Structure 1
Amino acid sequence: MKKTTLILLVIGAAALLTVSYCQFWKGDNAATVVNPETMGSPPPEGEQPKSKSKAEIPSHEATGAAPSASGFLPTQMEDAGKFEALQKHLKEMGHCLNMVTSPLDAQSEFNFENLNTAISADLGDVVTQSEEWTATDIRTKSGELRRIYLENSPDTAAEPRRTLKYYSLQGGSQKEIPLSKEQMTNPSDALVASLESDGDVVGRSLSRRIYYQNGDDLLLVERNGKIYSLELPHDGKTFRCTGLDSTKTMKCECK
């Protein structure tokens, strides 16, 4: 074998070994990267998780029902059909999410405390919860339906921040009523009360996210003090329900 050929073979073998060595360490480092969002741990204090779905705001346009007074009848007494439907959907949730659920108490109202009792066996204790937004619908003397919407910012600022938006609701669509930047950013309670005085309150909605010990989080919306919708991810699937405050509108799905 010629000397030149031998040198070329040695150089080629060395290059091949170098490339293989680099690929090995590149693959090893990639395998150690962990995405914190996939770990299921509750968010650090003052920080909201990313890529979370936002709950839809329930409408009061069709019903026009005023907020109920404090205190509700036991679930079965309020509506026996609603109680049976809730029991059915709770069982469906257990099958969908592969988790233990217990029956609702017929002698208690259907609120978060009793829902939590029924679903917490696999979730553990509540670690923390955050209010995501509130929506107050009013009807003016002219008959116009308006919405006062307050959203809490997920930013990790030292001071909590909320944003105010004011809408006119017509035929299922909404048109924003202009406010100044100062009014929209961290509005005072006096300003919010002033907007509410533009008409009679026909409905109040609240969205909050509840974080559990096992890392799951429940997205809950209440309309006029009653559970309207919920969304719970667990074991690779998500169970969603809307219209839970009425037998006619109640719908649930497993995805």
Structure 2
Amino acid sequence: MHKRNIAILIVAIIIGLLIFFYLKPANTPEEPSVNPESMGTIPPEASRANKATPPPPVDVAVPTGTAAGFLPTNMEDPKKFEAYQKHIQEMAVCLNMKVQPLDSQAEINFDNLNKAISADLGDIVAQSDEWFTTDIRTPAGEVRRIYVENTNTASGEPTRTLKYSVMEAGGTQREIPLAAEQTNNPTDTLIATLESDGSIVGKANSRRIFYQNGDDLLLVERDGKIYSFELPHDGKIFNCTGADSAVTMSCTCK
């Protein structure tokens, strides 16, 4: 009788264990394995290779010869139009791609540049805003730059960083210290407050345009005009800077 009770107890324990494991949730999360060497690094897909360099403020830039906001056609600024036509053909040779001549009656802006270069690139599939700058002149005559850069965290969350600097002679910058809560994800209200420290003398922005064939164009515009652009294709990179003036426009193939 004693042995029978022990056997019944063992069977009851086994049944109890089977019920426990059967009813245990199957979706209990496991602790992910972490490679110590990868901690604190950004995965390749979250970090774009290069950022375009912001243009110099108007006070230290070489005069463009055209009024602010003026988007010249061939008739309005023939030297700039001639420079663009020349460098667009250089781009075609450098990148081994089809390029259409610029319309002599159209403004030299991104839309028309895109029409000229899109034959081999295909349609635009996405765009990302890289950064923007606002240059102000204070009542004391000091030129300051508000620089806001857009990035993504390791988890893919969008974030932006603010820098506030004095633009000194020779192109050097002296950063004005800000609190951590101001530099990390600054509010539009804070940016507007900094802009009110003086009068706005210039604006610039950079964006990356992604094409159907996988290439991407890195573009900088200053005061509504193309300042620089960089395009990789067929194993080479074509870059132009100072493109808002025939005097300063310079392009390279590498």
TM over 0.5: yes
SS in 1 for 2:165: strand
CA shift, 1:155, in A, is: 2.6
1:95 aligned to 93, 96, 112, which one? 93
The answer (yes or no) to whether the contact 1:73–1:108 under 8 Å persists in 2 is no
Q: Structure 1 length as normaliser, TM-score? A: 0.76
SS in 2 for 1:75: coil
AA in 2 matched with 1:192: I
Give the number of the structure whose alpha-carbon radius of gyration is greater: 2
Where do 4+ consecutive residues of structure 1 move more than 6 Å? none
CA shift, 1:145, in A, is: 0.8
AA in 2 matched with 1:117: K
Unaligned 5+ segments in structure 1 are 1-46
CA shift, 1:68, in A, is: 3.6
Q: Pairwise mapping of residues 1-255 of structure 1 onto structure 2 (< 5 A)?
A: 50=47, 52-60=49-57, 61-63=59-61, 68-69=68-69, 72-155=70-153, 157=155, 159-171=157-169, 172-255=171-254
Q: Distance in 1 between matches of 2:153 and 2:159?
A: 8
Distance 1:247 1:206, change over 3 A: same
CA shift, 1:195, in A, is: 0.3
SS in 2 for 1:77: coil
Q: Structure 2 length as normaliser, TM-score? A: 0.77
CA shift, 1:135, in A, is: 0.8
The answer (yes or no) to whether the contact 2:208–2:216 under 8 Å persists in 1 is yes
Alpha-carbon RMSD: 2.1
SS in 1 for 2:237: strand
Q: Distance in 2 between matches of 1:51 and 1:164?
A: 19
AA in 1 matched with 2:200: V
Q: Distance in 2 between matches of 1:243 and 1:176?
A: 25
The number of aligned residues is 207
Unaligned 5+ segments in structure 2 are 1-43
Q: Distance in 1 between matches of 2:208 and 2:243?
A: 17
Distance 1:247 1:147, change over 3 A: same
Residue identity over aligned pairs, in percent, reads 61
CA shift, 1:139, in A, is: 0.7
Distance 1:147 1:159, change over 3 A: same
CA shift, 1:108, in A, is: 1.1
Distance 1:82 1:249, change over 3 A: same
SS in 1 for 2:199: strand
AA in 1 matched with 2:160: R
AA in 2 matched with 1:210: I
Q: Distance in 2 between matches of 1:156 and 1:106?
A: 46
Distance 1:79 1:170, change over 3 A: same
The answer (yes or no) to whether the contact 1:48–1:156 under 8 Å persists in 2 is no
Distance 1:225 1:48, change over 3 A: farther
The answer (yes or no) to whether the contact 2:139–2:198 under 8 Å persists in 1 is yes
Q: Distance in 1 between matches of 2:121 and 2:105?
A: 24
Range 74-83 or range 92-101, more displaced? 74-83
CA shift, 1:77, in A, is: 2.8
Q: Distance in 2 between matches of 1:68 and 1:198?
A: 22
Distance 1:167 1:74, change over 3 A: closer
Range 221-230 or range 158-167, more displaced? 158-167
Q: Distance in 2 between matches of 1:156 and 1:165?
A: 21
